[in-house]
Structure 1
């Protein structure tokens, strides 16, 4: 993790700040390895401090042994005192800093305050080998979870959406996942036309489409997968939109490589769906980065100029949502490479009528 701090110091120098305050939990873990749920980091040109309270003193010795530990009940005061002691002149901070903390720092710091939104997230977006291995493991577990759920689904005709989500949760956590990274989406029937239709008590009925969108943390890193399948035979238009979505997904993924923009990827898939006559029914972005958080940089959407870099992991998730028929979304996790891409979620995309 020393390399990560050095990358930040290079960015600090470019931004003309000589210290940086880290308050967002995922960023605290990324740079220090500290998993405590309270505290902050102060990184200067020469030193690096973890500031937290006595509850985490032993934990710090195990997780952040190369850092200087400041044990206190007033984190911001301690940070201000360190800035004054080292005669620092410009403190960088994250976009997520709460206003009350900003207000305190503004009143008590001897240095200038410099907002540097997304600076840490840009560093985090390019994964190292260990991070990529962990994301691959999370994606592998996601595939095992999908296979398990389809098998369980066929053993009963009395499933509610919530029961399916609970069954998946049981499997994932029984096999090493620490928690889900967002509320699992299980939508059936006409509810599949809701892009974010989280699981309800609706009974899944013969003839329903079912969309499953889920992500789980394994060793700190998450997957994010969507699959759509059918319970019984479907109208011809459902099979049509499934094919359109799957072809848009494949076409977009084939364009993934270092140097392409998120905007261009979105255009490729969106144009294909529009040419098929369903453009108005694709009402969200094409994807986003994943890693320690479920939504990270880079953004993959029509409004974003983010340029992909090798080592980033993104989702590609086109969908079509027809109000009176239902919706289809298929989402894969993709590793960006210099030459192109690697699909990390190679399972369960073939159209199924169970």
Structure 2
């Protein structure tokens, strides 16, 4: 955590202090400890990382985390509660007594507690140092994410196979085993395919037809033949906490000529982006190249139509994290895991998106995604 030591030195702070649950990605990354109740992480100017936890969590924290473990009791919280009565104020005093009187705190610290801490100690808001550190993935992290992506492909394969096996009724509604094939059924197929691998799916997108023209519409109701079906699946491993992310657009039967042309343009845009990925190039440069390519193909972005979102984002313990491939995207670095997800969206026609995930290497883009791109199934 050299960067964190540098920040402490830069701001003349005694320690970095975070107070949150492990649902906060920075907290999970720094502590290596999973807890649904808030606990305290302290990183001192001497480079010592400590967790302050409840007594009931002490043994488990020692087992899971490489940090030093201190209980609230041994840190003096019971006596402080008798003096101050307000639990947050007592906890703030406990932190000051343990960590020092000038503290670096993350921007994500709950605002109410941050105010209490500021009553008893000087606080400096960090610029997001841990998020920057964890944007560069270790080999172990990359291995974890490759695994989740492989399981993601198993689940998406089951979903695509269900669409392939379906047949349209006289209304064009896809039927499978004498029942309509719906967005909800496809999400269930994906969910149950992921469960044996201890992966959870969150807000999976399965949108069809007009709904596919809205990039983040989850989709609901029946799926139709000859219409684009956008499947955006981003599961998380319950064991490691790492995400994967992949999008494919398919159609049961040939869709409109407009969708076929859009699919071809999106596919080529993704190939262009992948060819440009290298250390030192900015996310803004890659994004701009894709925008300009779409323009040459006759696809202008205007309001809610066309290419309406960023080209990609970092993935890790969060589904959206640094870096960004957008108009403001900075330099890409070796070890960053990113998505490439160009898309085109037009009301009255539908939408097309394709998304791969991979790591920036010294040689370019190493894709984790091995799933085929086939529009008509």
Provide the TM-score with structure 1 as the length reference: 0.91
Match of 1:50 in 2: 51
Distance 2:335 2:269 in 1: 23
Q: Is the Cα–Cα contact under 8 Å of residues 279 and 362 in structure 2 kept in the other structure?
A: yes
Contact residue 163 and residue 252 of structure 2 kept, 8 A: no
In the TM superposition, what whole-angstrom CA distance separates every residue of 1:222-272 from its partner, at most 9, and x where no partner exists? 101111001111121111000101101110111111111111111111111
Question: How has the CA–CA distance of structure 1 residues 67 and 171 changed in structure 2, closer, same or farther, with 3 Å as cutoff?
Answer: same
Preserved CA contact (<8 Å) 2:323 2:329:
no
Residues 261 and 205 of structure 1, relative CA distance in 2, 3 Å threshold: same
1:352 alignment counterpart: 375
User: How many angstroms apart in 2 are the aligned matches of 1:345 and 1:23?
Assistant: 36
Q: Residue 153 of structure 2 corresponds to which residue in structure 1?
A: 143
Select which of 200, 206, 224 maps to 2:245. 224
Distance 1:75 1:290, change over 3 A: farther
Mapped partners of 2:50, 2:88: distance in 1: 11
1:93 aligns to 2:116 (yes or no): no
Whether 2:340 is the aligned partner of 1:311: answer no
Shift of residue 318, structure 1, vs aligned partner = 0.6
Following superposition, the deviation at residue 290 of structure 1 comes to: 0.4
Query: Structure 1 76/159 Cα, relative in aligned 2: closer, same or farther at 3 Å?
Result: farther
**Structure 1: how far apart are the matches of 2:26 and 2:348?**
43
Deviation at 1:81, TM superposition (A): 3.0
1:103-142 superposed matches below 5 A: 103-109=115-121, 112-142=122-152
2:278 and 2:284 map into 1 onto residues whose CA distance is 13
Q: Deviations over 1:112-159 (max 9, x none)?
A: 211113211000100111001001111111112121221233333221
TM-score, structure 2 as length reference: 0.86
Q: CA RMSD in A?
A: 1.9
Conservation of the 8 A alpha-carbon contact between 2:62 and 2:69: no
- 1:21 corresponds, among 2, 17, 20, to 17
Flag structure 1 segments of 5+ consecutive residues without an equivalent: none
The whole-number CA distance in structure 2 between the counterparts of 1:184 and 1:155 is: 21
2:277 to 256, 259, 265: 256
Name the SS of the counterpart of 1:42 in structure 2.
strand
Structure 1 residue 175: Cα displacement: 2.6
Q: Which runs of 5+ in 2 are unaligned?
A: 78-86, 167-174
Q: Does residue 60 of structure 1 match 2:61?
A: yes
Q: Distance in 1 between matches of 2:231 and 2:329?
A: 29
Moved more, 163-172 or 48-57: 48-57
Q: Which residue of 2 aligns with 1:235?
A: 256
- How many residue pairs get aligned? The number is 342
Indicate which of 141, 155, 175 corresponds to 2:197. Answer: 175
The equivalent of 2:82 in structure 1 is: none
Kept in 2: contact 1:186–1:211 (CA 8 A): yes
Secondary structure at the counterpart of residue 186 of structure 1: strand
Contact 1:289 1:296 (C-alpha < 8 Å) held by counterparts: yes
Paired residues for 1:3-14 under 5 Å? 5-14=1-10
Q: Structure 1 residues 126 and 117 mapped into 2: Cα distance closer, same or farther (>3 Å)?
A: same
Cα 1:80–1:254, aligned 2, differ >3 Å: closer, same or farther?
farther
Which of 286, 292, 297 in structure 1 is aligned with 2:322?
297
Q: Which residue of 1 aligns with 2:169?
A: none
Cα pair 2:92 2:120 within 8 Å, conserved: no
Between the aligned partners of 1:341 and 1:116, the Cα distance in structure 2 is 31
Deviates more, 1:129-138 or 1:155-164: 155-164
